[in-house]
Chain A
Amino acid sequence: QQPVQSPQAVILREGEDAVINCSSSKALYSVHWYRQKHGEAPVFLMILLKGGEQKGHDKISASFNEKKQQSSLYLTASQLSYSGTYFCGTEGVGNTPLVFGKGTRLSVIA
């Protein structure tokens, strides 16, 4: 079942912060985050496994609350290069294939 992402779109000025949320109605084993720039393939950002972990990647970090079946992606001090569409992908319990949400379009302006 497809995870739900929010917001659908967000516009930031350089240096501002943003949070993108991803929720599922099914029990999750892992959550992936990818970024896709216009006309390009999705690029991996990070994977979070069940256990409620939080990960960081430069100024981009994420958390995973397995009890709530939710994950959030945090972008701090945004840069122009952060612009793109962010997708969360969820893996259910039992080694199921990755299912992606509809994406959140992030635009960072100067």
Chain B
Amino acid sequence: DAGVTQSPTHLIKTRGQHVTLRCSPISGHKSVSWYQQVLGQGPQFIFQYYEKEERGRGNFPDRFSARQFPNYSSELNVNALLLGDSALYLCASSLGGTGSEKLFFGSGTQLSVL
């Protein structure tokens, strides 16, 4: 069975641009969460979606948005990129979206903003 897949794996953008990151959860998983991980730090929660509804939002500016599609895949969008947005963006899927479930992480998208 395929794990969580993310695309692209690497991305280079310049300040002010827009970026879209994509995630496909494990088959049967209905919840997707997005995390930002800066080098040397733990993953920081950005969004969680379950059954296409936003279930949680972390402390990130409105430049960050996300959505979940009927097939449970998800997109994370970041507008007006800043240098500080450079990070590894991780997507994690779980079955039902409760906090007590095991998260399965994808390998991430490494975003570099120049």
Tell me if A98 and B42 are in contact (CB < 8 A). Answer: no
Near A by CB (< 8 A), chain B positions 39-75 give 41-45, 48, 55-56, 58
Instruction: Place the interface of chain A in its size category.
Output: 20 to 34
- In the complex, the answer to whether B102 meets A44 with C-beta atoms within 8 Å is yes
Given pairs A41-B107, A102-B41, 20 additional interface contacts (CB within 8 A) = A2-B42, A29-B100, A32-B103, A41-B106, A42-B105, A44-B103, A87-B43, A91-B100, A95-B98, A95-B99, A96-B56, A97-B45, A97-B48, A97-B56, A97-B99, A98-B45, A98-B103, A100-B42, A100-B45, A102-B42
Across the interface, do A100 and B43 meet the contact criterion of CB distance under 8 Å?
yes
Pair A29/B90 contact, Cβ less than 8 Å: no
Q: How far is the CB of A31 from chain B (nearest CB, A)?
A: 10
Knowing A41-B107, A44-B104, A97-B56, the reply to whether A103 touches B41 (Cβ < 8 A) is: yes
Q: Is the CB of B107 within 8 A of A40?
A: yes
Is A47 an interface position by the 8 A CB rule? yes
Set of chain B residues within 8 Å of A98, measured between Cβ atoms: 33, 45, 99, 103
Q: Determine the main DSSP class of A at the interface with B.
A: strand
Report whether A100 and B44 are in contact in the complex, using a CB–CB cutoff of 8 Å: yes
Chain A residues with a Cβ under 8 A of chain B: 2, 29-30, 32, 34, 40-44, 47, 49, 87, 89, 91-92, 95-103
A102 contacts which chain B residues (CB < 8 A)? 41-42
Q: Does B108 contact A (CB under 8 A)?
A: yes
28 A–B contacts, CB within 8 A, in A order: A2-B42, A29-B99, A29-B100, A30-B99, A32-B103, A41-B90, A41-B107, A41-B108, A42-B105, A43-B105, A44-B103, A44-B104, A47-B102, A49-B100, A87-B43, A91-B100, A95-B99, A96-B56, A96-B99, A97-B55, A97-B58, A100-B35, A100-B42, A100-B43, A100-B44, A101-B42, A102-B42, A103-B41
